[in-house]
């Protein structure tokens, strides 16, 4: 009988634990993207480093297998809209951490207007209120492909699905008030 496979960590901790500049940067990213734990930021950093290391390694090789791997890497990056068709490996080295954090399901749910804050978007995903391609996704760090972005919706079983839900009514009235406030009525300029 085989034993249970040990699950390895998908990130590595920073080499020096108490660098104030790094800690402040991680705290700012955590507040901006509603990420409560540093491990999620470290996982995104590891994914970014993985893409970059793979691109560096493949750019040095010239074999047929290396070309196939390079094509599959670029195809994968195109599905997340990190690169475009015909880009060189220098573009992969230009991908930033914010590019990866902007492709997270939590960020996209907030930007689509399903929630009023990043923390509420995270809660909606954890509580299984969000569907992607008719599948419930309960991981806020799920990277959304470009083809899936238009198929993100609130689950019909969710209380948020109802247009008369208290949170959705508040959001609708806020949007109407913002539109009214932005329109100037009969203002005259002073000379």
Flag whether 123 is in a domain: yes
DSSP for 165-177, written as a single string: -HHHHHHHHHHHH
- What does the pLDDT profile of the chain (191 residues) look like in tens digits? 567 888 888 899 999 989 999 999 999 999 999 999 999 999 999 999 999 999 999 999 989 999 999 999 999 999 999 999 888 888 999 999 999 999 999 999 999 989 989 999 999 999 999 999 999 999 999 999 999 999 999 999 999 898 888 877 565 566 555 555 555 555 555 55
Distance of alpha carbon 82 from alpha carbon 79, whole angstroms:
8
Flag whether 61 is in a domain: yes
DSSP state of 14: -
Flag whether 167 is in a domain: no
**Count of structural domains within the chain:** 1
Tokens standing for residue 130? 């969000």
Q: For 44-54, how does the pLDDT look when each residue is reduced to its tens digit (9 = 90+)?
A: 999 999 999 99
Flag whether 106 is in a domain: yes
Flag whether 169 is in a domain: no
Domain housing 133: 20-156
pLDDT at 4: 83
Query: Could you tell me if 51 and 100 are in contact, meaning their C-beta atoms sit under 8 angstroms apart?
Result: no
Flag whether 184 is in a domain: no
């Amino acid at each position: 009988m085989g034993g249970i496979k040990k699950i390895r960590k998908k990130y590595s901790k920073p080499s020096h634990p108490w660098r104030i500049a790094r800690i402040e940067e991680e705290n700012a990213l955590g507040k901006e993207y509603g990420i409560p734990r540093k491990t999620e930021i470290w996982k995104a950093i590891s994914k970014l480093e993985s893409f970059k290391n793979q691109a560096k390694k493949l750019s040095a090789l010239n074999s047929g297998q290396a070309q196939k791997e390079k094509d599959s890497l670029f195809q994968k990056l195109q599905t997340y809209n990190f690169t475009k068709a015909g880009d060189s490996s220098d573009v992969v080295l230009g991908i930033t951490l914010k590019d990866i954090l902007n492709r997270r399901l939590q960020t996209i749910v907030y930007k689509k207007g399903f929630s009023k804050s990043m923390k509420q978007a995270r809660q909606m995903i954890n509580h299984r209120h969000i569907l992607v391609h008719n599948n419930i996704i309960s991981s806020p760090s799920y990277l959304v492909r470009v083809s899936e972005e238009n198929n993100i919706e609130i689950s019909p079983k969710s209380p948020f699905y109802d247009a008369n839900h208290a949170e959705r009514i508040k959001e609708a009235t806020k949007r109407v008030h913002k539109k009214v406030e932005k329109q100037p009525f009969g203002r005259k300029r002073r000379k």
